[in-house]
Structure 1
């Protein structure tokens, strides 16, 4: 078990606080988000001995880490820009307790002009509607999407949202108060940016399944801001499948789009996503469609959400299979929706498959880059999960085709929807 906390360094001073909703830090193992004058710059794990002051111990480890990596100096802050008006879309299904926690954090955002839309996806009960319309009446907009699937729910949110920027997150996160401002500000600074993604960290590390997932990367994409530009693609040796390496760009729990750009590419493919036979891939599809349309995609570690990872081994098995299925489902969706992308995908496939095999072998050996510096040798990735992921990859195209038959002919909801913010 790891405690989860964040540590803010400012010169000789330091402030240690538990992750949102977590208990105070005591002796034991701790996973720490390190901030430097408020900005996320690193994560690490450390051990606080009995009787020691947690802040002192962890600050010493953090300063040592920063001295080793960047001399203790963070990258320069981007110019402060007024973020555009934004809408946050949260798709949910029968998890009112988790949803309430997420909404409380979203309502505490420091963004000057935003609204929240909750999409109740194929509900079985009235629990979500009652929560939103009673507890959050007048502060959160409620809509219902009867078609099961995360992408269909997101498309319903696009129809209901009126912001110039559309941000998406999950019902099992706690958003940092600066999350939405950090996620939407890049759009004001660069008119070519069509999508921005943010940093996703673990809210809890209390079960072996949660620790295992985070030990092998979790959802984090590091602490260096980066922009992908289809007009200036990265070298093939570094990213041989670009722009189809969508998993490197970010994840659906922390992503935002320029509203006009997202609508122009048709939003999310409703035959992808959790809740459909495709099992996933809705976010990856949207990332690549935005890039293929000529827009830039930007990643910023300044936009932080704390995510509740899956808790049990069975959850992790389902997740591994779903990731594999979602990967090949989204690639199938791209080819089905944009056949012009097929030659580019086929040209990159041989080098990409070789790269993927090398990465899989490295993870199977318990090695690889780990954001929090967990010892992957102590938390070896089970071969069963790798097998499930490969099985999912074989199933993904079939799952997508099954899902697509169910949604064929459905209109895009925002063409008839009434927007709000």
Structure 2
């Protein structure tokens, strides 16, 4: 992380807005922030979340001194904030709510805080400004977070905190980018009162920068408007329910230890004493105190119910509504679209050929991100050190595993299309161009992923000949669409693929991880790659198939374009083939184990398909085995079968290792 602590520290204030009903509050927030900016170094960015009339009003209202931009990501607060970060190159980004007016001296307090190299982020003091004049008598001060404000139980000024309150927080921009910004799986969308995106940000910052601090600075203060519509019990319970659901999603992403660490202390210390205090005040003659005690219990129960119910149903495989609203909200993909190509690597010598092949693409508007997954060795940087091309960047990801590396690449990618290939593959010169053309032909915006054909780079050994003949990577010469619904795509994209007995829960027919291009909004909607799966983890694979399955279940289509070709260096000896075959089994079984553990519906989806699945795995005439060459050794089949047996245990080991790693941060 680069720290800049000079007096010329550049600040960017980012305000996100979506509603015409809050124009008065927004005007007040913009003017309060603008009055504290340093004209020489600072800037004010207002991001409008898919509301053209509000954007036009802001542009007319503030013709100078304010940069007004539309949310360029998926609708919601997380996407708007990410857009704001991308719109500036300031050292520190200050996030304020559109109904939170900065108090005098707030930005100066931000500058003082970041003069400390160890501070990576800060949270301010958020004071409620009730439209009704005061909080309702029944409202407990322990639940100030329900209305986005401070609450009893917060640490004192200058203390370390896990995460800030979103209405007033500031983060070093380079650190936030490395953490991947804000997750679209969390956070408010329109008027839906979800949250926890700041919590995930705080956890990621501490994981990436374990020596850094997130601190509470009370001089960095705002007055946060609380409208009458939020001063009622219905909003209170609705907010608690959505907070509980967000906590469940967060815990699934980072582990319950990290996701609920502060909440346990809050319940045991703050809420329990809050109940006792209010009951005592009831005895001493404050009747409303008894109501507050009851509301504390109610809030705790509703939040817990939201967490438990979302945990039990969160992994349920279900069919989304058509995603036309997601992709159609974006501008159409053009033939000159910026494409971000991501290569995860541990520094294998073959990386150099892959990099040269990507930089030689006929589609010139691209950037290449090489993700060094063993940065302590520095092999990747050394391999590409002599390449002088401004499109090439090397990004470090110390957490082992191809999924973590790919997620890091996606977080740094600037393009709406993010392509992935391996460091032992060589894309054909028109690989990217064909993938872009497929997305451009998707006029309805239903295609979330484009996969392509994978052929061998050479067949110098009999083992490579076996692998090529087996068509393990090669999915054939016919353009195919894979989706739950046979609707929404144009004929030129191909015919719809036949649904096999395990579709889409294995998804191997859709393509492979060494040749896949994601629409960013699709990758965001599934939460990226599962970092418990893939090469570099105990499971050894399965992360690409898991992503394909998640995208299809989320309502996206996958387009297989046989003209988008990547050449892969197939394993040239039996020892490597044994390892690879075992990894295919462990990865697939681990991915299915994840589905089984997601809930009753997921478990049933797998169990009821097991008889047909076993037939497909073992029968020589099944679709899986019919293409295997006659010489294909039975030893390799047995290795793969043993991988299926070991996969569930390896997934549990990988899940436990990830939780322990996150808990340590």
**Structure number with higher helix proportion:** 2
Which of 147, 157, 163 pairs up with 2:409?
157
How many angstroms does 1:394 deviate by?
0.5
CA gap of 1:320–1:236, structure 2 versus 1, over 3 A, is same
Distance 1:199 1:339 in 2: 36
Matched position secondary structure for 1:174: strand
Which of 236, 243, 248 pairs up with 2:504?
243
How many angstroms does 1:229 deviate by?
1.6
Which of 449, 459, 479 pairs up with 1:195?
449
How many angstroms does 1:363 deviate by?
7.5
Which of 340, 343, 346 pairs up with 1:90?
343
Q: Deviations over 1:13-43 (max 9, x none)?
A: xxxxxxxxxxxxxxxxxxxxxxxxxxxxxxx
| Off by >4 Å, runs of 4+ in structure 1 | 233-238, 337-340, 359-364
How many angstroms does 1:351 deviate by?
2.6
Which of 349, 363, 380 pairs up with 1:111?
363
Corresponding residue for 2:466?
Answer: 212
Corresponding residue for 1:76?
Answer: none
For 1:57-206, list aligned pairs within 5 A: 82=335, 84-95=337-348, 97-136=349-388, 138-190=390-442, 191-206=445-460
Distance 2:395 2:498 in 1: 45
How many angstroms does 1:296 deviate by?
0.4
How many angstroms does 1:134 deviate by?
4.2
**Structure number with higher strand proportion:** 1
CA gap of 1:185–1:360, structure 2 versus 1, over 3 A, is same
| TM-score (ref. length: structure 1) | 0.71
Corresponding residue for 1:392?
Answer: 643
Number of residues of Structure 1 aligned to a counterpart in Structure 2: 321
Distance 1:236 1:128 in 2: 39
Structure 2 residue ranges without an equivalent (≥5)? 1-332, 488-494
Corresponding residue for 1:304?
Answer: 565
Q: Deviations over 1:229-268 (max 9, x none)?
A: 2123999985111112311111111001111111121110
Matched position secondary structure for 2:572: coil
Structure 1 residue ranges without an equivalent (≥5)? 1-79, 371-375, 412-421
How many angstroms does 1:114 deviate by?
1.3
Distance 1:363 1:289 in 2: 22
Check conservation: 1:84, 1:187, Cα contact below 8 A: no
CA gap of 1:396–1:160, structure 2 versus 1, over 3 A, is same
Q: Deviations over 1:20-79 (max 9, x none)?
A: xxxxxxxxxxxxxxxxxxxxxxxxxxxxxxxxxxxxxxxxxxxxxxxxxxxxxxxxxxxx
Distance 1:236 1:254 in 2: 18
Corresponding residue for 2:483?
Answer: 229
CA gap of 1:404–1:301, structure 2 versus 1, over 3 A, is same
Distance 1:307 1:324 in 2: 20
Distance 2:598 2:388 in 1: 38
Matched position secondary structure for 1:231: coil
Are residues 1:291 and 2:544 paired? no
Distance 2:523 2:643 in 1: 28
Corresponding residue for 1:34?
Answer: none
Matched position secondary structure for 2:474: coil
CA gap of 1:156–1:336, structure 2 versus 1, over 3 A, is farther
Distance 1:362 1:114 in 2: 37
Distance 1:242 1:363 in 2: 13
CA gap of 1:390–1:161, structure 2 versus 1, over 3 A, is same
CA gap of 1:149–1:360, structure 2 versus 1, over 3 A, is farther
Q: Using CA pairs below 8 Å that are at least 6 residues apart, which structure has the higher relative contact order?
A: 1
How many angstroms does 1:202 deviate by?
0.5
Distance 1:309 1:320 in 2: 12
Distance 1:127 1:238 in 2: 43
Distance 1:136 1:336 in 2: 47
Larger Rg: 2
CA gap of 1:218–1:343, structure 2 versus 1, over 3 A, is closer
Check conservation: 2:578, 2:639, Cα contact below 8 A: yes
